Amino acid sequence: MDLCETYNAAIVSADSRQIYRGFDIGTAKPTGEERARVTHYGIDVARPDDRYSAARWAKEAGGWIECAGKMGKAAVIVGGTGLYIKALADPLFSMPDMDPLQRSQLESELASKSLAELRRWCEGLDPARAHLGRTQLVRAIETALLSGSRISALHAEHKAATHIQPQDENATYLIVDPGSVLGSRIETRVDRMLEAGWADEVRELQGNVSPDAPAWKSSGYSVMREHVEGRLDLSSARQRIIIETRQYAKRQRTWFRHQLPGAAVTVVNPDDSRARAVAREWWERAE
């Protein structure tokens, strides 16, 4: 927000959960006041039952960046969905066709599997992707079983055949990481969401959104559904959401550490007194 207000820029959200309309509190969407101060794209662009891919986001993000440019604004990509960012910088190949019914049935079966079980499946079907997160593991398993192809092999073939280069070889990245206090910040964030009426939001969504809609996969929402349905007390729900969020943050750190070019990365601690100065220096170098 500080950078965009200082340099007349717009924000393009690279958050795979904030795209869904109605899922507001648990995804920490920017407030109406924040969106009035700075132009935002990529928020509330999909119905909860939409299957929204990284490739689709990257295509639409290109349009949003162009729209910002027509208004005389630079665009800064903001968010923690690494696959979205990678799809924009290094376009993805098209996934093979898979039978929708078979895919839905397989997804239902895999939903009951633990992360460890999914990793074991993936180690046998597509070992190069067995270190990834739950969503990517499910995608690798279903692609291998339903299309007979490994995503890792498809990636390699696509790269060899197209020689695609990143859209912007000069892209630079600002990683905002508070370090060891992240755990306590996550606890505070969850408490604020609960105080803001997260349970009421989920209760209302249950009356309007299909129980198997992709938007429910947003972090914490399945736990809040259990609480709203009376299957989990609030204290236990809070603790589980905190644990889930810490685990997700750990995966994000790992992803950014291994997937982004180190020389193009600037890390800033938001609690540092020079945080804004470091961010502005990063912006000015990028320009």
Where residue 126 sits, what CATH number does that domain have? 1.10.20
In the predicted structure, residue 255 carries a pLDDT above the cut 50: yes
Verify that 138 and 245 share a domain, yes or no: no
In the predicted structure, residue 130 carries a pLDDT above the cut 50: yes
Q: What is the helix (H) or strand (E) element at residue 39, kind and residue range?
A: none
How far apart (Å, rounded) are the C-alpha atoms in residues 29 and 19? 9
Q: How confident is the model at residue 171 (pLDDT cuts 50, 70, 90)?
A: confident
Q: Are 150 and 140 in contact (CB under 8 A)?
A: yes
pTM: 0.74
- Among 112, 134, 162, the domain-final residue is 162
Contacts of residue 57, defined as CB under 8 A and 6 or more positions apart, other chains included, come to 14, 16, 19, 42, 84, 87, 88
pLDDT value of residue 164: 40
pLDDT value of residue 159: 59
Can you list the positions of beta strands (E) in the chain?
Answer: 9-13, 40-41, 74-78, 173-176, 265-268
Choose between 113 and 97: higher pLDDT.
Answer: 113
273-280 contacts at long range (C-beta below 8 A, 24 or more positions apart): 276/2, 279/2, 279/3, 279/174, 280/3, 280/6
Verify that 254 and 176 share a domain, yes or no: yes
Number of domains composing the chain: 2
Verify that 50 and 142 share a domain, yes or no: no
Verify that 153 and 199 share a domain, yes or no: no
- Among 162, 189, 216, the domain-final residue is 162
Verify that 49 and 120 share a domain, yes or no: no
User: Could you tell me the residue range of the domain that residue 188 belongs to?
Assistant: 2-91+165-286
In the predicted structure, residue 166 carries a pLDDT above the cut 50: no
**Average per-residue pLDDT in the chain?**
90
Choose between 67 and 161: higher pLDDT.
Answer: 67
How far apart (Å, rounded) are the C-alpha atoms in residues 1 and 234? 33
Q: How confident is the model at residue 167 (pLDDT cuts 50, 70, 90)?
A: very low
In the predicted structure, residue 245 carries a pLDDT above the cut 50: yes
Structure tokens at 88: 């924009």
Where residue 213 sits, what CATH number does that domain have? 3.40.50.300
In the predicted structure, residue 91 carries a pLDDT above the cut 80: no
Verify that 199 and 274 share a domain, yes or no: yes
Q: How confident is the model at residue 163 (pLDDT cuts 50, 70, 90)?
A: very low
DSSP bridge partners of 41 = 12
Choose between 156 and 62: higher pLDDT.
Answer: 62
Among candidates 17, 67, 21, 22, which has minimal Cα distance to 40? 67
Residue 231 burial (C-beta neighbours within 10 Å; 0-12, 13-18, 19+): exposed
71-82, pLDDT tens digit by residue? Answer: 999 999 999 999
Q: How confident is the model at residue 169 (pLDDT cuts 50, 70, 90)?
A: low
Rounded to the nearest 10 degrees, what angle do helices 221-228 and 198-206 cross at? 80
Structure tokens at 59: 């295509």
Verify that 172 and 157 share a domain, yes or no: no
pLDDT value of residue 158: 61
Query: What is the average pLDDT across 43-52?
Result: 95
In the predicted structure, residue 132 carries a pLDDT above the cut 90: no
